[in-house]
Amino acid sequence: MSVSDLRLFEMRRPADLPDVCAVLAERVSRSEPTVLLAGGTDWLVEQETRPAFAKEAALPLVLDVSRLPALRGITLDGDRLRIGAAATYLDMRRDPAVLARAPMLERMGRDIGAIQIQARGTLGGNLATASPAADGVTALAAYDATLVVHSVRGERRIPFASLQTAYKRSTRAADEVIVAVEIDLPPAGSPWIWRKVGTRRAQSISKVALAGVAVREGDRLTRLGLGMASVAPVTALLSRVRTLATSRPLRDLTAADIDAAVDADVSPIDDIRSTRDYRAHCARSVVRAFLRDLGAPV
């Protein structure tokens, strides 16, 4: 199977969201494979390495969702930011609301591949592929974003914490289209971190990446959102670290407590991109660095 076999596929560009949901529901009920194509930067790469389709009948139908108005656009309503699932990283990088209110997303977007990928890749695709190394998902985890999905049954909202179930698996149903993500933003100017660690300074899948947003009042964190890539089968939410760091004044945090919480929150492995030990060390190190920047004496 390869990109050059694309000519074998049938591709449609549905008119609107109900149209997509209808086609999807029908095909899913008949177990017919269907692909929602946004930027294609994940799906096309997968086609290069997959074995040939046994029969032409088994070929998926490709639905282009990249231009659906319902999936595009970035809007700010009070403190709530809504990003269409088909908005690209470049859209985010250029959006005034993102720049002003969610700078971590802009910073994350700069680390996605190179500009060509940023101009095509979308959060919807990143979420649907659900790689534990995905940068967009990691940033959304830190914002505790809510997924807005749509199907013939109507709209459903999935809080991030109940999204992921296992490696590349989620609670989103097969016939549900990701329409947008919504973020309840921290106040403007709140501290944040985006730290992606790879073999080289760009174009490498992270060994570890940390996304963080915080709200600080005096010596206490009243909100702490964290996401970490490549340290577990799913994007790590670092819930023990969150609990620890918001449970006491920053000055009472110790390096040992933080490290122990990180260790309990991650389960890295050895693979061709890094070692378990390095990932564990790196995870502790970047979390400590963020909390240090926030005022913890660690």
Ligand X SMILES: Cc1cc2nc3c(=O)[nH]c(=O)nc-3n(C[C@H](O)[C@H](O)[C@H](O)COP(=O)(O)OP(=O)(O)OC[C@H]3O[C@@H](n4cnc5c(N)ncnc54)[C@H](O)[C@@H]3O)c2cc1C
The single residue among 36, 142, 181, 282 that binds ligand X, judged by CB under 6 A, is 36
Q: Please tell me what DSSP assigns to residue 88.
A: B
Cross-strand bridge partners of residue 122:
88
Please state the closest distance from residue 247 (CB atom) to ligand X, in A. Answer: 31
124 touches which of ligand X, other proteins, none (CB within 5 to 8 A by kind)? ligand X
Beta-strand runs (E) in the chain? 10-12, 34-37, 61-64, 74-77, 80-84, 146-151, 154-159, 164-166, 169-170, 177-184, 192-197, 208-217, 220-229
- State which of positions 50-69 bind other proteins (CB under 8 A): 51-52
User: Residue 248 corresponds to which tokens in the numbers above?
Assistant: 């006491």
Size of the site for other proteins (CB under 8 A): 28
Q: Is 182 in the site for ligand X (CB under 6 A)?
A: no
The single residue among 215, 255, 260, 289 that binds other proteins, judged by CB under 8 A, is 289
Q: What's CA 254's distance to the chain center, in Å?
A: 30
Q: Is 107 in the site for other proteins (CB under 8 A)?
A: no
Please state the closest distance from residue 211 (CB atom) to ligand X, in A. Answer: 11
The single residue among 75, 203, 247, 267 that binds other proteins, judged by CB under 8 A, is 203
Q: Is 91 in the site for ligand X (CB under 6 A)?
A: no
Q: Are 206 and 134 in contact (CB under 8 A)?
A: no
Name the one range near other proteins by CB under 8 A: 139-147, 194-202, 221-229, 248-256: 194-202
Q: Is 14 in the site for ligand X (CB under 6 A)?
A: no
- The end-to-end CA distance of the chain, in Å, is 51
> Which helix (H) or strand (E) element contains residue 47?
helix 43-49
Strand, helix or coil at 119? coil
User: Residue 154 corresponds to which tokens in the numbers above?
Assistant: 């109507």
Residues in Cβ contact with 18 at an 8 Å cutoff, skipping those fewer than 6 apart: none
Measured from the CB atom, the residue of 219 and 293 that comes closer to other proteins is: 293
- Sequence length of the chain is 298
The upper half-sphere exposure of residue 284, i.e. CA atoms within 13 Å in the direction of its Cβ, equals 17
Measured from the CB atom, the residue of 198 and 295 that comes closer to ligand X is: 198
CA distance 62 to 35: 5
Q: Is 190 in the site for other proteins (CB under 8 A)?
A: no
4 touches which of ligand X, other proteins, none (CB within 5 to 8 A by kind)? other proteins
Please state the closest distance from residue 223 (CB atom) to ligand X, in A. Answer: 24
Q: What's CA 98's distance to the chain center, in Å?
A: 16
Q: Is 281 in the site for other proteins (CB under 8 A)?
A: yes
Instruction: Return the residue matching tokens 């693979």.
Output: 271
- State which of positions 52-81 bind ligand X (CB under 6 A): 65, 71
The single residue among 136, 212, 225, 227 that binds ligand X, judged by CB under 6 A, is 136
Measured from the CB atom, the residue of 22 and 205 that comes closer to other proteins is: 205
Q: Is 178 in the site for ligand X (CB under 6 A)?
A: yes
Going by C-alpha positions, the residue among 208, 215, 212 that lies closest to residue 225 is 212
Q: Is 139 in the site for ligand X (CB under 6 A)?
A: no
Give the binding site for other proteins (CB under 8 A).
Answer: 1-2, 4-5, 7-8, 51-52, 197, 199-205, 207, 272-275, 277-278, 281-282, 285-286, 289
Contact residues toward ligand X (CB under 6 A) are 35-43, 45, 65, 71, 85, 111-113, 117, 120-122, 124-126, 128-129, 134-136, 177-178
